[in-house]
Structure 1
Amino acid sequence: MEKKKKDFASITGLPEELGIDADLEKVGQTLSIRKDTRRYGKPMTVVSGFEADRSELKELASELKRRLACGGTVVDNEIELQGNHVERARDILDELGYRVA
């Protein structure tokens, strides 16, 4: 099941060459971050609320893992990061242009 990408150029009337589609798509999403507990009481940070396709989500997960120096994965349109990184992940996502609730 593939989601159709939004065509912001047709909505805003601005040329596609400006490359604002990605920025507008980020701002249109509201992400949530929560701390979860896994087996043996290990903390896990879960970021959800994405409308991006799986390849973009994997790239973002890779960036978060690199900057937070932790492991993680993408499961069901959510990014799972090993450890409690709620505040740091919020700061990084804000820096990257995402809106975090």
Structure 2
Amino acid sequence: MSGDFNSITGLPDELDIDGDLARADQRVSIRVDERRYGKAMTIVEGFDDSTTDVSDLASELKSQLATGGTVSDGRIELQGDHRNRLPDLLEERGFELAD
């Protein structure tokens, strides 16, 4: 264990507490749009680009949901309607949902 400690929390830097705190401050929203031919597209937006690697998060979510998708303008677009499972997956990763 290194001797570097966080000046705010007093915990070791290797725990990456700052990343967890930054994610907890973000309020992300989930909505479903209808695309061509009536296909559903789930949109997750509201990320702070400086503290969240949206591309990595999108890859994890696509893998967990077994679906395709992309990152566009700082938001995640997932193929299909995933309103039911996404809140739990995002909360597991430390994100708060907007009301």
Amino acid at match of 2:36: R
SS in 1 for 2:55: helix
1: CA distance, partners of 2:62 / 2:27: 20
Partner of 2:92: 95
Structure 1 residue corresponding to 2:10, chosen from 14, 20, 25: 14
**5+ residue gaps in structure 1?**
1-8
Partner of 1:4: none
- 2:33 matched to 1:27? no
Aligned counterparts, 1:46-85, within 5 A: 46-53=43-50, 56-85=53-82
Task: Give how far 1:14 is off.
Answer: 3.2
TM-score, with length taken from structure 1: 0.82
Give RMSD over aligned pairs: 1.9
Task: Give how far 1:16 is off.
Answer: 5.9
Residues 1-37 of structure 1 deviation map (CA, whole Å, 9 limit, x = unaligned): xxxxxxxx55x25356142011011001000000110
Name the structure with the higher helix share.
Answer: 1
Q: What fraction of aligned residue pairs are identical, expressed as a percent?
A: 51
Structure with greater Cα Rg = 2
Task: Give how far 1:86 is off.
Answer: 1.1
Structure 2 residue corresponding to 1:36, chosen from 13, 33, 36: 33
Amino acid at match of 2:91: D
